[in-house]
Chain A
């Protein structure tokens, strides 16, 4: 028996002439937490909604627990969804919201109430069962939406940007709560977000999408360390990776950066000579150092400090961002020395943007 809980095979979705999902294939293991991430309009929500049955697909096969469910209506798919806007029933109390699915199935009132109380205890809603959604805070509403999904014990949980409407602090807290709930329930979760931090911190498996296509999928750090192309490299990681045009030197193991002074960097590996490339440098792999130890000398445009971290942006084209732990002496207008950690250089083909 396979432990694949959800299988999407060659999914296509057209809205008139617009091709929203292009031959998307994905296998989700039972008990895993998968994040679909990408910029707006990349098709991640469409894919999730197709999985839920809220959108029909134009081609391909969707299987849940081995069963093809292409033409099965949402109510019979046995998946639960948490919406961005919470989508609570405004005329029902928290308890009624939680137990609506049970009552539809004909579960007796007292049994449903007991289930609601148990869910309330799990999700921190005890004491709020008789309130209406309008009397709850954003975080509490979010919990009700999750409780409503949990109470059904579905085959999979689908989350459609559930934290977007919360403030930053609450988002961090709910991130942990959702993940720990997932672990406790041993559930299979598919989580859509445009926030790569959410994807990286919560998921076992991250799927990066762009324009209806899966660009890369894998474990979060795998995507971070070995991005398949320039798009994934730029999307995963915060602050984003620096990209500098460059040319591979004639010896094949050095790259000449297209920056003032045409600095040369050792690659530590052999690449086709004279190839036009884009060099990817993660901000945390650059550091501000005394000028005599530096591989680059660059003028500073902006210095931003958050207390624990300092972001130094250079006044070059393209600009480079350097992340320093703690404070730095660099000031706007200074010339600073920047060192690049050897072995942490990503190369992408200038034309195809694929990793080299």
Chain B
């Protein structure tokens, strides 16, 4: 009885709010809004620096400093960096490496997670912890053994070396994420497929993967962005100019005894632009995938 009254009151209050279209804003909400705006500005600040300085002439920069608005638009630094670093080539390399890591990493993560969560492999928890070590250890500590391994297998200075290393390292996180998603996967759906005559392979590809697609997209997008931003291992593994990635090219803009801030800003802008575009395209997928499993 009291429940019914409460529900009625809540319903009428909601109806009233809707009718007046007047969401209540407490001072606390304003404070939160202010904080969020501040954080947004802080996040955007480096982007702004990259944009305004990359289209600034060197003289303008020397005269007015990094925070000034450019007096004229000068694409010289951008063009110089593009040509000097053979940026088109680097872009293609980064796309090939990131996309390959993304696909291979998702595949490894999926197979691992399927075995761990659905296949109920014995000792799966220990297996998962060992896998997670892959992302817990600092890259600096494994770069040496990786270097020697690549040398020994003849993969040194090939993109395949970087692809394999990152696909494996990142699949540790992917396995962790997907196995927790798969743990809450309705068991009955898999059992229904088994009863319908599907074998494990068919259950995976025809039932689990289509249902899991949003999560797979999230993992793939993360892998792409993370690989794109990787610097140390590509720097060590890829010595030839033709094999290098955007991040490595960006890193080479600063020498020991030289510094050209507009040139560096141009490199930064060109370097982050593709990931930004990629993120904007997959933004919906990302947000959808991140909340997958949050409800029900």
Contact = CB atoms under 8 A, between A and B. Distances in A.
Interface of A: 52-54, 73-75, 79-81, 83-85, 87-91, 100-101, 104-105, 148, 152
Contact of B191 (A87, A88, A91, A152): A87
Interface string B193-207: 111111100100011
Given A75-B199, A91-B211, A104-B202, A83 B192 contact: yes
A52 B193 CA distance: 12
Contacts of B188: 83-85, 87
A79 B199 CA distance: 15
Interface of B: 186, 188-189, 191-199, 202, 206-207, 210-211
Nearest to B202: A104
9 contacts: A52-B195, A73-B194, A74-B191, A87-B189, A88-B192, A89-B207, A91-B211, A100-B206, A105-B197
A246 B197 CA distance: 57
Nearest to A151: B196
B107 to A, nearest CB: 19
Contacts of B211: 89-91
Most chain A CB within a 10 A radius of its CB, from B188, B191, B192, B199: B192
Contacts of A88: 189, 192
A75, A81, A90, A101 interface centre (most CB from chain B within 10 Å): A75
Contacts of B197: 75, 101, 104-105
Nearest to A84: B188
Nearest to A149: B195
Given A85-B188, A87-B188, A87-B189, A80 B210 contact: no
B195 A80 contact: yes
A75 B194 contact: yes
Nearest to B203: A75
Nearest to B207: A89
A90 B212 CA distance: 11
B198 A75 contact: yes
B195 A91 contact: no
Nearest to B190: A87
Given A84-B188, A89-B193, A104-B196, 5 more contacts: A52-B195, A85-B188, A87-B192, A88-B192, A90-B211
A106 B189 CA distance: 21
A105 B198 CA distance: 9
A142 to B, nearest CB: 13
Contact of A148 (B196, B198, B210): B196
A73 B193 CA distance: 12
Nearest to B210: A91
A92 to B, nearest CB: 8
B119 to A, nearest CB: 14
A100 B193 contact: yes
A90 B192 CA distance: 12
B53 to A, nearest CB: 48
Contacts of B194: 53-54, 73-75
Nearest to B212: A91
Nearest to B191: A54
Contact of B196 (A53, A73, A75, A84): A75
A148 B192 CA distance: 10
Q: Which of B196, B197, B206 neighbours the largest number of chain A CB atoms within 10 Å of its CB?
A: B196
B232 to A, nearest CB: 40
A81 B195 CA distance: 7
Contacts of A54: 191, 194-195
Contacts of B193: 89, 100
A6 to B, nearest CB: 16
Nearest to A105: B197
A54 B188 CA distance: 10
A104 B198 contact: yes
Contacts of B192: 81, 83, 87-89, 148
